[in-house]
Structure 1
Amino acid sequence: MADVVSKSPTPTSNLISPNKKETSNLLLGRFEIGKLLGHGTFAKVYYARNIKTGEGVAIKVIDKEKILKGGLVAHIKREISILRRVRHPNIVQLFEVMATKSKIYFVIEYVRGGELFNKVAKGRLKEEVARKYFQQLISAVGFCHARGVYHRDLKPENLLLDENGNLKVSDFGLSAVSDQIRQDGLFHTFCGTPAYVAPEVLARKGYDGAKVDLWSCGVVLFVLMAGYLPFHDQNVMAMYKKIYRGEFRCPRWFSPDLSRLLTRLLDTKPETRIAIPEIMENKWFKKGFKQIKFYVEDDRLCNVVDDDGLMDNDDDTASM
């Protein structure tokens, strides 16, 4: 599926003029379609503007015929269900879903800052910057896991940055939910990106979705701090061997606390790999960490400005 990707400022200059006579220029009478942001086998993603509110959004346009031929109807329904389940400030939001006879439209949050991958491709990040992104990633992932959602393809290419430098998890195309777990309590689908895949996925004996996501988070953190992958080889099978054996070294500029955390995240044994509650209490992780408080109203996320902590015990407030 096509991702919601932004690599440039808001492309207003590429918008189709609403003054033209053709009503087709306005999608469903509300959205002024702009430039193509990305595309995949079954979908294209465009920048668009809501002419009533002026809000910039991304619209994923899915070809119904291709979905039907590919037997992906259930997959699309699951993706919609997942995106509606995981409304969090550090997750790209699905605003609405619309359909015509030939197309399905996802109206999604437009994230202006582009991929985290583009940032780290320029070189390793400062520790405080990497820590902030990792804190936001863990907040989002923990929120998903608490709702029975497992991403299964976490990597810098699927982590976007907004105009304020905040991280947003995107592309839930390979994600799974708890009701897909087999009787043994594990997932069995082989998926993910080779350099970020956990060793138990390679073993093909079933895996815990939460543990697999945390391994990927560990690889992401290593990449942010080192500027390169912990497990790398030109030959994919050779790289898989390194992953399976846990063969990596932390560079000399990693602090002892960071190295210890990464050793726990990249533990080849899922049963002893660090879990979210322990990460939240980790010394390196906790430095400067601020809990995110928010609530959902009229199907939209609302942040809570609460410097005095007055909302800490409010049942209507979710926090991570």
Structure 2
Amino acid sequence: MTDTISFIKFTKIRDIGNQEGKNSNVFLAIDDQLGDELVIKQMEKEKFNSDEYFSESKMIYASKHPNIVDIQYASQDTENIYLAMPHYDKGSLNNLATGRLLTVREIVMYSLDLLSAVSYIHSKGLLHLDIKPTNILIDVSGKAVLTDFGLSRYMDENGIADQPTSYSLHREPECYLQIGRTNQSDIYQIGLTIYRLCNGVEVLNQQLISMEIGTMDKLAESIKNGEFPDRTFFLPHVPKKLQKVILKALEVDPKKRYDNTISMMNDLSVIDDNLDWIYTGVAGNPYTKSNNSYQYDVFVTLNNDIECYKTNLISNKKTKISKCSIKCINENDLFKNLSAVVGGLN
């Protein structure tokens, strides 16, 4: 049987994605044969052994699931490997959460989609090992779709996978102490992803600066000691039930972490507090939410006191909610009372 040489042609349009942990070139292209837009992931052959050229494409193809990206085809030329995938024009969760903070309802919805995908690949003996907001896309129906299996590995009979490489800010504590990765690695990365969706996708970079973590050695120590990320920091609208799920997923000791994705899904599914508050990031009007009848707004005065109003969406009449108007002593008191207010107006 002779080999047949074939050529797949595409025209590059533009680079897409950001530089977070980037180990490949990803761009939007027109497939010249199909006349459709595709996302092409380009990887240099010199970074792989020849038997690894199409390992990622095979993993994706073997993991068909509504919450996992499809692969259209895989090809190569003399220097590069190319993986072609659908173009999701809604972008990634990172793009969405950079433009605005998500509501708790959105965070729970996307997290359940993510956990469904990871639960499926775990059932196939596969670990993802690169879970982060940039690797979660949003499809045309609004579902979260897991992508980028470049660091993924299959587990052995003991549930361990050999993968020393990891995005440094999402590296789990035990990764510094032992050889091999487990499903606890993915669960930790899921917890950290949800933490970022709750508090802003840039919160980790902000904490690197505020905690004066300037070297990889100091980062490693901070992760191993459970100091990074700052587990005491949550924005006021993040309900305690959701904080509890995240903190359990981020346990330093993997034995105290969720031992499977289904348990984590079950705990997320019952969260029903503060679902629709929008954190605006505006100092004077940090929170707002609406229903069919009213819009609720939480204001912070120049004296750092809290005032709450509801506006009738039909008559446009604004009324002050006296029970939620609070005088605050200091910034800590303000933060605590904001939590009480958004919970009290749930």
TM-score, normalization: structure 1?
0.68
- Trace 1:265-280 onto structure 2 (pairs within 5 A): 265-274=249-258, 275-280=260-265
Is the counterpart of residue 139 in structure 1 residue 116 in structure 2?
Answer: yes
Is the counterpart of residue 150 in structure 1 residue 133 in structure 2?
Answer: no
- RMSD, aligned CA: 3.0
Query: 1:91, CA displacement in angstroms?
Result: 1.6
Are the aligned partners of 1:250 and 1:259 in contact in 2 as well (CA < 8 Å)? Answer: no
Aligned to 1:318: none
| Aligned residue type for 1:187 | A
* Aligned partner of 1:57 among 38, 43, 46: 38
Q: Tell me the number of residue pairs that the alignment of Structure 1 and Structure 2 aligns.
A: 251
Q: Percent identity?
A: 21
| Aligned residue type for 1:144 | I
Are the aligned partners of 1:57 and 1:110 in contact in 2 as well (CA < 8 Å)? Answer: yes
Aligned to 1:225: 198
Query: 1:70, CA displacement in angstroms?
Result: 3.8
| Aligned residue type for 2:232 | R
CA distance in structure 2 between the aligned counterparts of 1:116 and 1:259, rounded to whole angstroms: 19
TM-score, normalization: structure 2?
0.64
CA-to-aligned-CA distance 1:144-171 (integer Å, 9 cap, x gap): 1111111111111222223443222111
Q: Aligned with 1:281: secondary structure?
A: helix
Is the counterpart of residue 201 in structure 1 residue 163 in structure 2?
Answer: no
Is the counterpart of residue 285 in structure 1 residue 269 in structure 2?
Answer: yes
Query: 1:72, CA displacement in angstroms?
Result: 2.8
CA-to-aligned-CA distance 1:159-208 (integer Å, 9 cap, x gap): 222344322211111111124x7xx65335322112211101122x1344
Check 1:104–1:196 CA distance in 2 against 1; reply closer, same or farther (3 A cut).
closer
> Relative contact order, CA 8 A, sep 6+: which one is greater?
1
CA distance in structure 2 between the aligned counterparts of 1:151 and 1:41, rounded to whole angstroms: 15
CA distance in structure 2 between the aligned counterparts of 1:126 and 1:44, rounded to whole angstroms: 29
CA-to-aligned-CA distance 1:109-150 (integer Å, 9 cap, x gap): 212122221222234321111111111111111111111111
Query: 1:41, CA displacement in angstroms?
Result: 7.0
Q: Aligned with 2:251: secondary structure?
A: coil
Aligned to 1:92: 69
Are the aligned partners of 1:231 and 1:243 in contact in 2 as well (CA < 8 Å)? Answer: no
CA distance in structure 1 between the aligned counterparts of 2:252 and 2:111, rounded to whole angstroms: 20
Check 1:113–1:222 CA distance in 2 against 1; reply closer, same or farther (3 A cut).
same
Check 1:119–1:101 CA distance in 2 against 1; reply closer, same or farther (3 A cut).
closer
| Aligned residue type for 1:245 | N
Are the aligned partners of 2:175 and 2:181 in contact in 1 as well (CA < 8 Å)? Answer: no
Query: 1:256, CA displacement in angstroms?
Result: 1.6
Are the aligned partners of 1:115 and 1:157 in contact in 2 as well (CA < 8 Å)? Answer: yes
- When Rg is computed on C-alpha atoms for both structures, the one with the higher figure is 2
Are the aligned partners of 1:113 and 1:160 in contact in 2 as well (CA < 8 Å)? Answer: yes
Is the counterpart of residue 249 in structure 1 residue 226 in structure 2?
Answer: no
Q: Aligned with 1:106: secondary structure?
A: strand
* Aligned partner of 1:48 among 30, 41, 45: 30
**Structure 2 stretches of 5 or more lacking a match?**
1-5, 273-346
CA distance in structure 2 between the aligned counterparts of 1:238 and 1:122, rounded to whole angstroms: 30
User: Higher mean Cα deviation, 230-239 or 105-114?
Assistant: 230-239
- Trace 1:120-131 onto structure 2 (pairs within 5 A): 120-131=97-108
Check 1:138–1:71 CA distance in 2 against 1; reply closer, same or farther (3 A cut).
closer
User: Higher mean Cα deviation, 135-144 or 188-197?
Assistant: 188-197
Q: Aligned with 2:72: secondary structure?
A: strand
Check 1:76–1:43 CA distance in 2 against 1; reply closer, same or farther (3 A cut).
farther
CA distance in structure 1 between the aligned counterparts of 2:77 and 2:240, rounded to whole angstroms: 56
Aligned to 1:212: 185
Check 1:33–1:121 CA distance in 2 against 1; reply closer, same or farther (3 A cut).
same
CA distance in structure 1 between the aligned counterparts of 2:109 and 2:23, rounded to whole angstroms: 34
Check 1:127–1:149 CA distance in 2 against 1; reply closer, same or farther (3 A cut).
same
